[in-house]
Amino acid sequence: MKRIICFPFDGDKIGGSHILSIEIIKSLKKVNTIEPVVVLHKKGKLLQLLKKNHINYDYLPLYLFTSKIDVIKNFLKFIKSTYRIKYYLLKEKIDIIHSNNTNIHLNWLLPGKLAKTKIIWHLHARFPNWPLFKLLSKGADKFIS
């Protein structure tokens, strides 16, 4: 039985963590017991890199939590996104979420827990020293650093 690992990305930028994740995805595609699935929230710079590396993706446009708008709008959009991500995880039978940046960590944690999906947080920098991140990090099943 194949295990499905989901790699969600914002999609609007490319950094070292994205390049590393693409290398991981390419390696996992060679393993018969694992199926990597990529999810983009925006069709931006990362899309071209995925195409160049012959990596298919699912497009799931939705609002990602940010500190740039007011709290009430943020909360309402976060709840809507949470249910869309949870539905996607259940529909696609995702076993593991591999997140590689803080925005994805925070936006996929609750839906992952609601869908009973294992969560790996791949940290590419020092562990953030802010209380909300420390609290929410307790929900991750594994950390890679």
Mean pLDDT per 10-residue segment, the chain (145 residues)? 92 87 94 94 92 95 70 81 96 95 86 95 71 72 77
Q: Which two tokens stand for residue 142?
A: 């594994």
Q: What is the pTM of this model?
A: 0.88
Instruction: Say how many residues make up the chain.
Output: 145
Q: Which two tokens stand for residue 4?
A: 């499905």
125 by Cβ neighbours in 10 Å (0-12 / 13-18 / 19+) ranks as: exposed
Residue 76: what pLDDT?
A: 82
